Amino acid sequence: MRKWLSVLVVIAVVVALLSAAVAGGGEQQFLASLRIAKPQAVTASAPAPAGSNGARQLQSMIGGMVAKTVNVALAEADQSVSGVDAAGKLAGFAPQLVRAQSNPPAMMVLGAQSIDMTVDVAQLRTIFAEAGKKSFVLPEAVNGSKVAVRTPRAMRIQYGNCPAPVANTLQNQIQGAPPPSSDNASCIVLVEGPAVTADVPTGLEIDPLMEIALELSGMSPVEAATLSRTLDWKSTLTIALPRNLRSFEMKDVNGTPAMLLITAGRRGPTWELVWAKGGFVYALTGYGNAGDAIPLARSVS
């Protein structure tokens, strides 16, 4: 089932990407504006450097399932900033820092994005059927309805010696980032920002689509269902998932449920902790011991 579902979603996403590229003046410019790390996003999770590209990948998956084409109404560039005050002013909210880290962070404001699409009920019914989710009823009235997803600006706060970004070439997109060195064990990255806002017609369920997207990103059905219970779909659309998930653990961050994702791959971070509180979503990523995740997260303020 997953093989055929992957084919269907790949076709939908590729059509969406190419249509938007033609309208906007070039595929490379479009992919860069969305910060998608892999064009074939539905077959593997993105090798994003701890916190930006993968979130756009999930949004592209959802858009590719909902509609045949996706319109990018806004795609701001990411901007490096010199300090906490500048970051807060540009992002529109005061940053929460990892207080357990004493060294000054490198900060970046991730640009806002807005996409919209037109619901294709026939396509959705096929995807639900192939995914074994036949119990979800899609009323004909939602066909042709508009869906809009708006991603606010967020922050990427980096501590320690992190791997250098890799060139955005096709080979790097396929192979992923090179393995980090032992010197990168000190690397900690916190990505934080408001959950997305969305206009969704009554009768269109996004939760099952999100579980399908999470499974196609590399999660098992149990992992996808657990993450969906930990974060609602609007919060999930703001995070980037690590590659090669090995296991997960449910944790507590200052009274808030959190999901600790452990990776098995040699490339990229070794763990990621995700949680949501007060309308904001947090993804804390590390290249060292996963046992440090909770103490670090509890110091975020």
Q: Are 19 and 67 in contact (CB under 8 A)?
A: no
Lowest mean pLDDT among 39-43, 74-78, 182-186, 190-194: 39-43
Q: Which residues contact 196 (CB under 8 A, 6 or more apart)?
A: 59, 149, 150, 151, 152, 234, 235, 237, 238
CA angle at 10 for the pair 8 and 11, rounded to the nearest 5°:
65
What distance, in Å, lies between the first and last C-alpha atoms of the chain?
A: 44
The reported pTM is 0.79
Whether 214 has a pLDDT exceeding 50, the answer reads yes
Please compute the mean of the pLDDT values over residues 141-159 and round it to a whole number. Answer: 96
pLDDT tens digits along 80-138: 999 999 999 999 999 999 999 999 999 999 999 999 999 999 999 999 999 888 788 88
The kind and range of the H/E element at 256 are: strand 256-263
- Rounded distance between C-alpha atoms, residue 33 and residue 52, angstroms: 12
Beta bridge partners of 124: none
**pLDDT confidence band for 264 (50 / 70 / 90):** confident
Cα separation, 173 vs 152, whole angstroms: 26
